[in-house]
Amino acid sequence: MRQLTFKLIIPLTVISFATFTKWWYALPVDAPDTLFAGFPFPFVCDGWHTSMSLQIFVTEFSADLLTYFLFWFIVFFCINRFWTKINTNKIATIVLWSLTGLVVCGATLIASNSNNLFYLKRPFDIDIMETGYKFVWQQTERPDYYKYHPEDKKE
């Protein structure tokens, strides 16, 4: 199982973590409406202090990454134990680790922005208005703010 973890589970965890997520349209306390991302917990959102910045919440990020890892671990454990033994192909392992390297490099480039804010835990409460799932290549339409606040007037 240790070989499967290093050859398949860790790369699939990173790749699926980067490609499949959940978006959360929420109203933070004393802040503008914001789109969060992360599954099963929102771990990243736009920064409010400057454009092109992010707020990243480390505890939620770690819990999300652990959730993806446990999903793949359980899937491969059950297949390997109860159905058939899994033999990893060297080419598949190289391809998976190459994709994982690209994902990690891209995430490092995004996270290294000096304007990003890192918090151990989200320092504010949120009121979730709408959620949905998406792949990284799908565009998320920002929900209509006035649908949730009809007392405000459109200008």
pLDDT, residue 51, reads 83
* pLDDT computed for residue 99 by the predictor: 95
Would 130 be classed as within a structural domain? no
pLDDT tens per residue, range 85-136: 888 888 989 999 999 999 999 999 999 999 999 999 999 998 888 888 988 8
Strands (E) across 9-97 are located at: 20-28, 34-37, 44-46, 54-57
Q: What is the DSSP letter of 99?
A: H
How many domains are there within the chain? Answer: 1
Residue numbers of the domain that contains 7: 2-123
Residue 133 lies in a domain: no
Which pLDDT belongs to residue 145? 61
Measured in residues, the chain has a length of 155
Helices 90-111 and 10-19 cross at an angle (nearest 10°) of 50
Contact 54, 110 (CB under 8 A): yes
| Structural domain includes residue 139 | no
Q: What are phi and psi of 135, to 5 degrees?
A: -95, 160
Work out the end-to-end distance of the chain between its first and last CA atoms, rounded to an integer number of angstroms. 60
Helix (H) or strand (E) holding 65: helix 58-78
Query: Do the bridges between strand 54-57 and strand 117-119 make them parallel or antiparallel, or are there none, so unpaired?
Result: parallel
4 pLDDT above the threshold of 80: no
Residue 105 pLDDT:
96
The residue behind tokens 């995430």 is: 107
* 107 located within any domain: yes
Looking at the domain assignment, is residue 152 inside a domain?
no
CA-to-CA separations, 152 to 33, 53, 149, in angstroms, rounded: 13, 28, 6
- The answer to whether residue 19 sits within a structural domain is yes
| pLDDT tens column, 33-66 | 888 999 999 999 988 888 889 999 999 999 999 9
Asked whether residue 106 is domain-assigned, the answer is: yes
Alpha carbons within 13 A on the beta-carbon side of 33: 13
